[in-house]
């Protein structure tokens, strides 16, 4: 019991001794803390603050893409699957364009261009808090400069995205136009072949009717279409009138031919509109200071000075005591 009391007293004396040593070296401690504080202040004065300009990128609306959606729709427009060859009949064209896919294509192209960063701009792109959005930021020495440069980079990335999208679209439209021309040419050839065959049958029937000297139709009231073998019975005058009429008729083309012709005309007249094109929706720019935290640095500098000087004093006194004992 007596031994524990002695140890406790010794510990208390040691603690008081440490406090006394620190008090004796208080000017060293205060000077060290002040020196560290001055060094930290100088660093803060020389350190250049950083400003981050940041915007949120989201998918655009369809009306932000100028006439790009119209071009995509033209490249994907399908002809009506109808065999009706009446030129006066109603025609329908299936719209193959999907608005969601068009928007996604424009947005993904912009993000891809930003990731590639072809101009090697000091930008940072990362996913945003909301799913499907991205944060684009730029750091500079002043808030105004950071915001101005970020807007310039956004414009540059938008232009590159626009060029890439329209270049791919023009290539697709050219292929589509070539395909439509081939389809129309095939239909015209088929229509000409059909008319040639029809006229050939009528000419043969006329020759037979002339040989048989049939001047009046032997078919009083034809029911339905007359077979090729019985055409001569219509008589010479009627056959000549039919042949003349057939020669004056336009080619018998289907509705899909006129649909293709209309689409081809729209493709040929399509011109890329680079005005008012925005591949992304951009939120208002936010500018945030990202320089060193002054208060924290000053507090840490004072603590560092106090700890370093206190350690120096205690270590110096311990070495002196050790030398004196010897």
- List, for residues 78-114, the tens digit of each pLDDT value: 776 554 444 443 444 545 448 889 999 999 999 999 9
Which residues are CB-contacts of 172 (< 8 A; sequence separation ≥ 6)? 75
In order, the DSSP letters of 72-128 are HHHHHPEEP------TTS---EE----HHHHHHHHHHHHHHHHHH-TT---EEEEE-
Question: What domains are defined for the chain?
Answer: 1-47+294-326 (no CATH), 49-191+253-291 (3.30.1890.10)
Residue 221 vs residue 266, higher pLDDT: 266
Residue 289 vs residue 57, higher pLDDT: 57
Which residues are CB-contacts of 272 (< 8 A; sequence separation ≥ 6)? 67, 68, 71, 166, 169, 170
Query: Is the pTM of the predicted complex or chain greater than 0.85?
Result: no
- List, for residues 206-238, the tens digit of each pLDDT value: 788 788 877 777 776 655 577 777 777 777 888
Nearest-5° Cα angle at 261, 103 to 177: 55
**In 149-172, which positions are buried (b, 16+ CB within 10 angstroms) versus exposed (e)?**
bbeebbeebbebbbebbbeebeeb
Closest CA to 134 of 142, 123, 146, 143: 123
């Amino acid at each position: 019991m007596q031994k524990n009391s002695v140890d406790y007293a010794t510990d208390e004396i040691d603690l008081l001794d440490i406090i006394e040593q620190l008090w004796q070296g208080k000017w060293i401690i205060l000077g060290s803390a002040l020196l560290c504080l001055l060094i930290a202040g100088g660093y803060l004065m020389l350190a250049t603050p950083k400003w981050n300009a940041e915007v949120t990128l989201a998918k655009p609306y369809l009306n932000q893409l100028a006439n790009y959606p119209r071009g995509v729709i033209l490249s994907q427009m399908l002809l009506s699957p109808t065999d009706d060859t009446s030129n006066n009949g109603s025609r329908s064209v299936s719209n193959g364009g999907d608005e969601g896919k068009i928007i996604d294509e424009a947005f993904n192209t912009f993000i891809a261009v930003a990731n590639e960063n072809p101009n090697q701009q000091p930008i940072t792109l990362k996913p945003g808090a909301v799913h499907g959005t991205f944060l684009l930021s730029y750091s500079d020495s002043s808030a105004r400069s950071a915001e101005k440069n970020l807007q310039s980079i956004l414009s540059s990335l938008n232009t590159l995205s626009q060029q890439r999208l329209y270049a791919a679209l023009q290539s697709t439209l050219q292929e589509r136009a070539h395909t439509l021309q081939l389809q129309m040419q095939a239909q015209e050839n088929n229509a000409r072949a059909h008319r040639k065959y029809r006229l050939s049958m009528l000419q043969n029937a006329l020759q037979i009717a002339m040989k048989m000297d049939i001047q009046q139709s032997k078919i009083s009231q034809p029911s339905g279409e007359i077979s090729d073998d019985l055409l001569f019975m219509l008589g010479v005058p009627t056959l000549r009138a039919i042949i003349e009429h057939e020669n004056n008729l336009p080619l018998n083309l289907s509705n899909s031919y006129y649909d293709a012709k209309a689409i081809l005309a729209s493709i040929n007249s399509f011109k890329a509109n680079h005005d008012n094109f925005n591949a992304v929706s951009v939120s208002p720019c936010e500018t945030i200071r990202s320089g060193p935290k002054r208060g924290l640095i000053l507090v840490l500098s004072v603590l560092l000075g106090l700890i370093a000087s206190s350690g120096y004093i205690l270590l110096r006194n311990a070495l002196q005591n050790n030398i004196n004992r010897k």
